[in-house]
Structure 1
Amino acid sequence: MLAYVQIVSVPSADTPGACLMLHFDNRRYLFGRIAEGTQRTMVQRKVSLAKIRDIFLSGAIDWQATGGLLGVFLTLADLKAASAADLEQVNAKLRSRGKQDTKSVPAQLNIHGGKNLVHMLATARRFILRKALPVHPRELRHDPRSDESKAEPDYEDENIRVWSIPVSVTPLKPSASEPHSPKKRKLGPASDAEAESEQDLAEEEADQRIREAVVKDMFCSKWNLDTLREMKLKDVQLPAKIFIRNDQGHIEPYDGPDPSSSSCPDINVLVRLPWPAAKIERLPPTSPAQRSMCYIVKCHPRRGKFNVEAATKLGVVKTDFKRLTMGQSVPGADGTIVTPDMVMGAQIDGRGFAILDIPFPDLIDPLLQRHEWSNPEIMKGIDTMYWILSDDITVSNDDRVQQFMKAHASIKHIILGSAMCPNVPGLESPTSQLIKMNGIDPQRFPLPVFDTKPRSDLDKELEPIAEVGRPGLQYQLAPRATFITDGVVPVMDTKRPIWELMTYAPQALERASAARNAIAAPSFLTEVEKSQHDLPSPETEIVPLGTGSAMPSKYRNVSATLIRVPGWGSYILDCGENTLGQLHRCFGYEGADEVLKDLRAIYISHLHADHHLGTVSVIARWRQLSLPADRKLAIIATPKYQDFVREVQSVQHLSGERLLHVTLRSTSGRPMPGTLTKTSFPDGVDPEALGLPRVEACFVDHCYEATAVVLTFPDTGLKIAYSGDCRPSATFAELGRGAHLLLHECTFEDELGGDALAKKHSTLSEALDVGRQMRARRILLTHFSQRYPKLPVINEAALGTEEEKESRDVDVLFAFDMMRLKLGEFKQAKAFLPALRELLQEGEKQEEEDEE
C-alpha cells in the first residue's frame, strides 16, 4: 500500500491558502485551506480531483479558507456527471448485447470543518445545484475531547483515523453526546440560567437543521429541469419559469402580464418551479467564529510481515497462508493449531501527521496548550507537523511557537505561512506566456510581480527540525516513512521564457520589431490623432484579470475586468475566483492596495459562479485599507446576488454598512431577456453625490437575472458597455449605442454556433455584430473557451461595410489575462497582433509536443 501526503499549494498571490493532498490508491483526501486559486493550481500541477472523497477544512470557516471550495464542488460534480454519462453509454451497448450493466461506485463528497461550515455552503444555494455529487457536511460545533481522558478518533474510514482539534479563545461546549457538566445534576426544577441555556441550544439546533436541509436540497434534490407543472397563472409564485402552449401546441416562454398584476389573464400555464433550496429566502442568523480547526491524521496499524519459512516449518499448507494473514488460525502438522502470532511479525504502527492552523494570533496559546499534544497514545507515529499561518503570524517572532517546536524536536515541522513562503509564481504556464508577450509588446503586457525572498526567514537554530514548505514535497507514510523531494516544484526560471521566445519564435520577434517601427512613424501617429480626436478619456485603462469561461484553466482565469477611469476611480466588471490574486500579480501587493483604494463599484452580471466568486475577497481587502469613513463601495447586481453578499457577511467581516447595494430590478416582476432593468439605490442615497457613473442595464438571454450593463461618465461623455454572458441582444446594442468601449463575450468561434445557441453564449461574429449595431468605437472580446490561448481570425464582414467601419473608426482586440490596455492605444496594440498570433501558434505547437 502506497500512502503519502503532498503539498499542493503554498501561500502566494496565486493561492492565498496552503493545501495538502493525502494519497491512497483507492481514494484521495484534501486537508488545509481550499482558498481561491486552489483548483487552478491543481490544474497546473496536474493533480487530479477525480478520487477526492473527503475534504478536511482547517482554520476558521471564512472566505479566506473556503473561497475555492465552491468551485471545487462544481468541477467535481461535473466530472462525476460526465463519468456517469460515459458509463450509461457503455451500459447501453452492453444491454443491447444482452449483457449486464457495469456497476458504478456511488459518488459522494464529505466536507469536514468547524462552526459555520453548513451556513457557508447554504449561502450558495442561489447558484449551485448539482445532483451528480451528493455533498455531506460534517460541521464540528463542539469539542470531541473535552474529556481529556478520551483518545479515540472522531473520524475513521478504511484508510485513516482523524482527531479533529477545535481551537477557541473560550472553551467550547462538550459534544451533544456528552454531559454538559461532569457533576451529577440534582433533581428539581432547573434554574432560569439553565432553562435559558437549554432553550438557546434548542434554537441553535433547529437553525442548524434548516441549514442542513438547504444543503441537502442543493446536492441531493430530486428536482428535475425538465419537469413542468400545469397551474393557473394567478397561482404562480415567483421566482419561477413560466411557459405556455402556442396555437401549434408547442411550448414557449410566457411573456404576458405578471401573475400579480391586475391584468393577469385567467389561463393555464406550465411552470418550472425553482429548485427547493432556492426557495429559502433567508438563512437563520449566525456570526463569524473566532475559531480554528486543526487535525491529527494517522494511517491504520498494519500487520507485520508474514514469515513463509516459519509457516512452512509448522506444516501450514500454502492455501492457508492468506487465512493466517487475515488473523485466522489454521491447522498445521500433526493436527497442531497454528495461530497468526506464530508466523506474523510485530504489528507496524500507522504513521501520521498533524495540521496546526493559526488564523488569529489570539489562538496561539489555546492551540499549543491542547492536551492532545501530550497524549502519547494520540501522538504515537506522528512524524510531521504542518503549520498553516496567516499573514501576521511568523515563527521567528513568536517564542511560544519556537519553544513548542523544540519540545517536539523529533517531529519535522513544515511551515506554510505567507510571511515565510516567498511570493514566487505558482502558475508557471501563464507566467511564462506573459513574459513572452512582454518580449513582444512590453507596453501592453507588463511583467508579473513576484518575489523570491520571503518577508521573514526561519531562525537558524530551528533549521534542523523545521523548514519552509515547498509545492510538491511529499511525506510518505507507507510502506516506509520518508520524505520524497523528487517532485518538489523548483522556483521558476523566469529567464527561460525569453530563451524559448528567441529560440522557437524568432519570426514573432521580427514581426514585433516591425510593429514598433510602424507605430513610431510620424504618419501613423498623425493618423491616430486624427481618427480619435473625439475619443473621450483616452487614458482610461482596461485590465482583463480573467478572460476564460466556466472554470479556471491553465492560461486563463475566470471572468474579471478592471476599468480605471481618470477622475472617476476604478470599477470591476464581474469578479471571478481569485481576482484579488490577479491584482496582486499584476500590480504587486502595495500597488493592488492603491487600486482598491480607488475602487468605486463592482458589477456582477449574473449568478454563475465563474463570474463572482472573487467578490468577497476583494471586499474583505477593501475594508482593511485606510479609507475615509464615508467612503462607500457600490455592489451593482440583481436582488439574488445582493442577498448572497448579505448572507456571507454572517461568516465574513465585510463592513456591510459601507457597502452600497445598487440593485438591478425587473420593472414587470419577471426578468425577461430584452427588457430594461430599474436601477434602485438604497433609500436616502443621492446617486449623483456618490460620484458614480450613470448605470443602465437590461436583462439578457443566458440564465435567470442575467444582465448586461452600460456605464456613462457624465462630464466626459465616456460610455462603456459590458455584455456579461449572453446571446446577442438587440436591446443591449440599443442601450449602448455610441459606446466608446464594448467588452463582449465570444465564448465560441463561428464554427461552433450550435454550441453557442445551446449554451446561450455568443460566437465571435455575433459579438462583432452587436458592436456594429451599437456603433461601438473600440471592441475588446473576452470569455474564451479555448484550451490554448490563441487569436481567432476576425470576420471583417461582421463589423459592417468598409464605409461603416471607417465612419465610426472601429478597432477590435482580444483580451488576455493581465493585459493593460488604454482606450487610446487600441491602434498601437492592433499593430502587434501578427506577432502575437505567431507567438501563440508556436506555443500551442510546443504544448502539444510536450503532452505527446
Structure 2
Amino acid sequence: MSAWNVSVLTGATSDTEPTLLVNFGTAKYIFNASEGMGRAWLQSQHSVRKTKGLFVTAAGTHRCGGVPGLLMLCADAAVPAIDIVGPYGLMHYLATMRGYTYRSNMVVKAIEAPTALVHASQPTDVPTPVFKDENLSVYSIPLYPSADGTVVGDPSARPLKRKRSPSPPSVSKRSTPPLIDHTVESTSPVSPAVSAHAQEENFNPTTLIGQDAQEWRKLMLQEMFPMQPAPKADPSMSKGAKRRAKEVQESADSPPPSNNRKYPPDRKYARLPGLVPGGGVDPATLPTIGYLCVGPAVRGKFDVKKAEELGVPRGPIRGRLTKGEAVTFEVDDGQGGKIQRTVQPEECVGPTEAPQAVLILDVPTPAHIPSLLASFTESPFFAKYRSKAADVRKEYPMHAVYHLCGEGVLEDERYKEFMNGFSEETHHLISSREYTPDKITFTRSALVQAKLHQLDAEMFPIPKYNLSPSKDITSVAGLPAKAILAEPNTLVHVRPVRPPVQDELAREDEFNPLAVSASLPELSDSVMEKFAAVKAKAAERMGRGSPATAPGDDVVITPLGTGSAIPTRMRNVSSTLIQIPGHGNILLDCGEGTWGQLVRSFGDTEDGVWQVMRDLKCIFLSHMHGDHHMGLSKILTMRAKMDPPPSEPLYVVGLRSHLMYLLERQELEDHGLADPNGIIMILSDALNWRFPRPYGKNQTEDEPFMNHNLSYEHAEAMCRALGLRSFTTVDVAHRIRCYGVVIRHNDGWGIAFSGDTMPTENLVKVGRDVTLLIHESSMSPEEEDLAREKAHSTSAQAIDIGRRMRAKNLLLTHFSARYPGMPPRHGDSSGGPIIGIAFDFARIRMGAMWKLNAYLPAIQHTFNEFGEEEPIEIDLTKLQ
C-alpha cells in the first residue's frame, strides 16, 4: 500500500513532451498530458484503470494537448472519476473542448490552483494541498516570469509583447495575468446569479467577467460531464444487441437532454467569456505550476519480541498499538492475581517513517527562476524540503526532483545554485529539449517503415531522429552529483527508497537499437523474395517506357495519420499532407500528434518541417470529432513562433465550431490570429457545392467568419495562392455536420477527400473524374452493418464510390483500431480506380499510385510477420 514509484512515460522529443506517472499500485497519478501521450501510453505496459488524478503544469497545448485522449482512455477503461488540477486558465482550456468531449458516466472535477503562493503565517504551518487522498498530498507552487529582475505576481503586472522565436523555436518571454486568489472547483454548485442570467433571452456569455466568467466555464464542464449514470440495457437483449445499442447511444452527436440544464441548449455553443476583459494580457503570461508530492506517512514496525515481554495479548489490542493508540489490559501479577497494565505505542512500535516527497518543476524560461527561488525562501514549509540539515531532512526527505527546463534554464547559475541547495541524497532528473536526444517514440511504426524502406526508399523514407542532443549535458558544470536525464522508462522507487533505474517491465524498444547500430532491420527470406518479385515487376513496367507525364503526377501525398478514432502503435489519427510543387501545401484534417508526424517525416530543420510550415497555405477540417482536429492548436502555436514569420497567410477552412474554438484557444496561447500573414478563417459552409447550411439562432455570433461573402472572398484568394480552380466542400453522411472537399487545380488534376462518411452520392457528383480520391475505409466488407451504425464506410463501399466517381486513383485511409496492423482485404477492385492503402509516413507521388498498388502483396507479407496486435475496441466518438 505504501510502496510507490515515479516513471517517465514520455520525454522531450519531436512527438511528445515530458509526462510522469506516479504509481501506488492501487492508484495512478499523471503529471502532464501533451500530444502523443495517449498513444505512448497504449504503447507502454501501463493500464489507465486505476487513474485518479491528472496534474498539468501549464494550461495550453504544450502540456494539455493529450487531455481529451486521456479522458477517452479513462472513460472506456471504466474509470469512475478523475480530478484534473492545473493553474489559472485550466477551466477555460477544458471548456474549449465542449464541442467534442462528453461523457455522462465519469465524474471529472477540475481544480484551479491558487495563482499566488500561500505563505504560512507560522513556520510550523502547512499550506492547504490542492489535492489530497490516502496516498498523496499535492501542494502547488505558482511560477511567474520576472519583469526587469522583479518577481511578478499581482494583477498590476504589465504584459510583455510576445517575442518571436527562431525556427526551430525558442521559448518566448512571459509575464503575469490577473489573479484569482482561491482554488476553483468545477463540481461546486454554479452561482444562482449566473444561472439566472443564462435564461435571459438576449444573454451573451462574453459579457461575463471575473468570477461570473469562471462560473460559466464551470457550467460548461458540468454539461460535458453531467455525472448521469448510463441507461440500463434491456435484460432480454442478446450480448451483441446490447453492445451495438451501447455503441450507438454513446456515439450520438450530442449528449442527451439534461433535466438539470441551467441554460437554453444552444447556449453551449456560444463563445466563452474571455480570460481577461478586452484581451489586455498576453496569453503567454499565464503561470506554470510546480507540484510538491508528499507520500503517506508509514507507521513504524511492530516489535513482536518487545510486545511479548510486555505481555500484550495477540489480536485487536496489538492492532490498536500499530495504529498509534495506547492500550490497557490485564496481566498476571505473579501471585495468582491480575493487575492492569498500560502500554504506549512507542514502547513496542518503532518510530513513524517520515513521508517521502517528490518535486516536479516546470521552468520554461530563465525569467521564471526568481519566482521559483522566492517560493523556497519565503515559505518555511517548502524551504524544509530543500534543507541540507540532517535533522530537517529526516523529517522532510526529498527523494527526487524532476526539472522540466526550457531553453537557457539549466545553464543559469541561479538555477544550478537552486539545484545544489537540496540534500546530496536527492536525485535530480532533468528534461530539457536541448540536452535530450530525439529518439523515436513510436518504435513499432518506425520499424515497419524501416522494413518497407528496403522495398522503396523514396516512397517509404525512414522517420527522422537524432541520437545526439544539440548539447551534451556533461558540458554543464556545477550540476548536482546525482543529476541524470529524465529519459522514457526511467523509474524511481520512492518507497522503498532506491536510485533511478530503467524499468524492466517496459515494452522492448524495436527501433532505436537499430538506429544506434546504423543498420536496417533484417528481412526474412520470404519477405526478401516477395520484395524482389514486386521490384522486378515495377522495373519491367518502367522498362517498357514510363507512361506519359500527366498533370498532377508530381503532387506528393504524405499520410501523417491513417487510423480511426484513436491512435495505435502502427497508426496515428487522421491527417494527410498534400504538397503542390511551386504553389504550396494543404493539410486535410489535423488530428492529435500531427505536428510530431510532420517533424518525423521531414526533420526538425529549416529545409525540413519548417519549410513545410512556410509552404502550408491551407488546413481543411472536415468535422468536430476530436481525432480530426485536436492537433490544430499545436500546429498554429508552432507556426506563430517562427522567426522570420511566414510571408503568406494560412487559411483555415472549418465549421463555425472549429473557428470559434480557435478564438477561444487564442486566450491561452498565441495562434497567430492577429499576425500579419497569420490565420485567415473560412467557413466551410460558405463553400458548399449547393448552398450554405444554416446554423441555429444561438450559434450565429457576430463574427467575421460567419459572413459567407467574406469567406468566399478569402477562399478565392486561397485558390489563387495554391493555383486552384476551385475548392468545394461537400456535405457527407456522418453523425454530425461533416464536409468532404473536392480540390481542382488549374493544371487539370483534382483530388477529392471524403472526411468521415457513409457512402454518399454527393461526393460522387462533385468529385466526378478526379485524379485521386482519398476515402475513409473504417471497416471491412463484412462489417457493413457496424459501419452503418457508426456512420462510416467499408473498404468495398469506398471502392464502389471511386468506381462510380470515375476516379483514376483511390487511396484508402482511416482504418479502425480493430485492425491495428494491415487493414482487412478491400474487396473487388476490377474495373475501378488504381487502389492504394495509406500508411503513416509514406510519401506517394500521385503519378506513382500504380507502384503503391503493385507493392501491396509485399507489404501484406511484411505485416503478417509482425503478428496481430490486440485490437482496440474503444471509439473517440463515444466522447461526443
TM-score between both structures, scaled by the size of structure 1: 0.81
What is aligned with 1:833?
A: 856
Aligned counterparts of 1:651 and 1:55: Cα–Cα separation in 2 = 19
- State the shift of 1:828 in Å: 2.1
Aligned counterparts of 1:708 and 1:684: Cα–Cα separation in 2 = 20
What is aligned with 1:560?
A: 575
What is aligned with 2:13?
A: 12
Go from structure 1 to structure 2 and tell me whether the alpha carbon gap of 1:306 and 1:204 turns closer, same or farther (over 3 Å shift).
same
Aligned counterparts of 2:515 and 2:360: Cα–Cα separation in 1 = 36
User: Alignment partner for residue 271 of structure 2, among 270, 282, 285?
Assistant: 282
* 2:34 pairs with 1:23: no
What amino acid is the match of 1:578?
G
Q: Which digits, 9 at most, give the CA deviation of each residue in 1:471-505, with x for residues without a partner?
A: 112221223454343437778212699999545x3
CA contact (8 A) 1:126 1:278 kept: no
Higher relative contact order (CA 8 A, sep 6+): 2
Aligned counterparts of 1:828 and 1:625: Cα–Cα separation in 2 = 37
What is aligned with 2:602?
A: 587
* 2:747 pairs with 1:747: no
Aligned counterparts of 1:686 and 1:749: Cα–Cα separation in 2 = 36
What is aligned with 2:141?
A: 165
What amino acid is the match of 2:733?
D
- State the shift of 1:133 in Å: 1.3
User: Alignment partner for residue 326 of structure 2, among 307, 326, 329?
Assistant: 329
CA contact (8 A) 2:555 2:845 kept: yes
Q: Which digits, 9 at most, give the CA deviation of each residue in 1:289-331, with x for residues without a partner?
A: 4311001111122111111111111111111221211222223
What is aligned with 2:837?
A: 814
Q: Secondary structure at the match of 2:782?
A: helix
What is aligned with 1:494?
A: 514
- State the shift of 1:526 in Å: 4.0
Q: Which digits, 9 at most, give the CA deviation of each residue in 1:181-217, with x for residues without a partner?
A: xxxxxxxxxxxxxxxxxxxx99411111111111111
CA contact (8 A) 1:637 1:663 kept: yes
Q: Which digits, 9 at most, give the CA deviation of each residue in 1:762-809, with x for residues without a partner?
A: 00100001101111001100011144321533322xx46x4xx4xxxx
- State the shift of 1:700 in Å: 1.3
Q: Secondary structure at the match of 2:841?
A: coil
- State the shift of 1:443 in Å: 2.0
What is aligned with 1:340?
A: 345
Q: Which runs of 5+ in 1 are unaligned?
A: 84-106, 179-200, 227-272
- State the shift of 1:681 in Å: 3.8
Go from structure 1 to structure 2 and tell me whether the alpha carbon gap of 1:775 and 1:846 turns closer, same or farther (over 3 Å shift).
closer
- State the shift of 1:26 in Å: 1.9
User: Alignment partner for residue 539 of structure 2, among 520, 530, 554?
Assistant: 520
Go from structure 1 to structure 2 and tell me whether the alpha carbon gap of 1:742 and 1:49 turns closer, same or farther (over 3 Å shift).
same
Aligned counterparts of 1:684 and 1:223: Cα–Cα separation in 2 = 48
Aligned counterparts of 1:479 and 1:368: Cα–Cα separation in 2 = 30
Aligned counterparts of 2:532 and 2:623: Cα–Cα separation in 1 = 42
Matches within 5 A, 1:44-59: 44-58=43-57
Aligned counterparts of 1:814 and 1:451: Cα–Cα separation in 2 = 29
Matches within 5 A, 1:413-452: 413-452=428-467
Matches within 5 A, 1:245-284: 276=265, 279-284=268-273
What amino acid is the match of 2:567?
P
Q: Which digits, 9 at most, give the CA deviation of each residue in 1:593-631, with x for residues without a partner?
A: 111110010011110001111111111112222466762
CA contact (8 A) 1:511 1:832 kept: no
What is aligned with 2:165?
A: none
Q: Secondary structure at the match of 1:124?
A: coil
What is aligned with 2:528?
A: 509
Matches within 5 A, 1:136-147: 136-147=109-120
What is aligned with 2:255?
A: none
* 2:319 pairs with 1:300: no
What is aligned with 2:186?
A: none
Q: Secondary structure at the match of 2:513?
A: coil
What is aligned with 1:383?
A: 399
**Alignment length, in residue pairs?**
732
Matches within 5 A, 1:195-210: 203-210=209-216
What amino acid is the match of 2:225?
F
Aligned counterparts of 1:474 and 1:778: Cα–Cα separation in 2 = 49
Q: Which digits, 9 at most, give the CA deviation of each residue in 1:490-527, with x for residues without a partner?
A: 78212699999545x32121121222222223x54546
What is aligned with 1:267?
A: none
Aligned counterparts of 1:224 and 1:481: Cα–Cα separation in 2 = 44
Bigger drift between 723-732 and 216-225 goes to 216-225
Q: Which digits, 9 at most, give the CA deviation of each residue in 1:408-438, with x for residues without a partner?
A: 2522211011111110112211111111111
What is aligned with 1:640?
A: 657
- State the shift of 1:283 in Å: 0.7
What is aligned with 1:131?
A: 104
* 2:701 pairs with 1:705: no
Aligned counterparts of 1:464 and 1:76: Cα–Cα separation in 2 = 39
Aligned counterparts of 1:840 and 1:386: Cα–Cα separation in 2 = 39
What amino acid is the match of 2:33?
I
* 2:420 pairs with 1:406: yes
CA contact (8 A) 2:680 2:714 kept: no
- State the shift of 1:118 in Å: 0.3
Q: Secondary structure at the match of 1:553?
A: coil
Go from structure 1 to structure 2 and tell me whether the alpha carbon gap of 1:697 and 1:685 turns closer, same or farther (over 3 Å shift).
closer
CA contact (8 A) 2:82 2:109 kept: yes
What is aligned with 1:268?
A: none
Aligned counterparts of 2:499 and 2:312: Cα–Cα separation in 1 = 35
Instruction: Give the root-mean-square deviation of aligned CA atoms.
Output: 3.0
What amino acid is the match of 2:372?
L
CA contact (8 A) 1:435 1:498 kept: no
Go from structure 1 to structure 2 and tell me whether the alpha carbon gap of 1:679 and 1:817 turns closer, same or farther (over 3 Å shift).
farther
Q: Secondary structure at the match of 2:774?
A: strand
What amino acid is the match of 2:133?
D
CA contact (8 A) 1:746 1:781 kept: yes
CA contact (8 A) 1:559 1:783 kept: yes
Aligned counterparts of 2:544 and 2:208: Cα–Cα separation in 1 = 76
* 2:91 pairs with 1:118: yes
What is aligned with 1:691?
A: 721
Go from structure 1 to structure 2 and tell me whether the alpha carbon gap of 1:299 and 1:223 turns closer, same or farther (over 3 Å shift).
closer
Aligned counterparts of 1:492 and 1:516: Cα–Cα separation in 2 = 28
What is aligned with 1:233?
A: none
Aligned counterparts of 1:436 and 1:70: Cα–Cα separation in 2 = 33
What amino acid is the match of 2:457?
P
- State the shift of 1:359 in Å: 2.0
Q: Secondary structure at the match of 1:583?
A: helix
CA contact (8 A) 2:286 2:668 kept: no
What amino acid is the match of 1:79?
A
User: Alignment partner for residue 826 of structure 2, among 794, 808, 811?
Assistant: 794
Go from structure 1 to structure 2 and tell me whether the alpha carbon gap of 1:633 and 1:515 turns closer, same or farther (over 3 Å shift).
same
What amino acid is the match of 1:462?
L
Aligned counterparts of 1:836 and 1:120: Cα–Cα separation in 2 = 42
What is aligned with 2:365?
A: 360
Aligned counterparts of 1:604 and 1:25: Cα–Cα separation in 2 = 41
Matches within 5 A, 1:187-202: none
TM-score between both structures, scaled by the size of structure 2: 0.78
Aligned counterparts of 2:182 and 2:114: Cα–Cα separation in 1 = 12
Q: Secondary structure at the match of 1:556?
A: coil
- State the shift of 1:25 in Å: 2.4
CA contact (8 A) 1:223 1:276 kept: no
Go from structure 1 to structure 2 and tell me whether the alpha carbon gap of 1:45 and 1:329 turns closer, same or farther (over 3 Å shift).
same
Go from structure 1 to structure 2 and tell me whether the alpha carbon gap of 1:359 and 1:433 turns closer, same or farther (over 3 Å shift).
same
**Identity percentage of aligned residues:** 27
What amino acid is the match of 1:206?
D
CA contact (8 A) 1:221 1:276 kept: no
Bigger drift between 737-746 and 164-173 goes to 164-173
Q: Secondary structure at the match of 1:335?
A: strand
Bigger drift between 434-443 and 214-223 goes to 214-223
What is aligned with 2:559?
A: 544
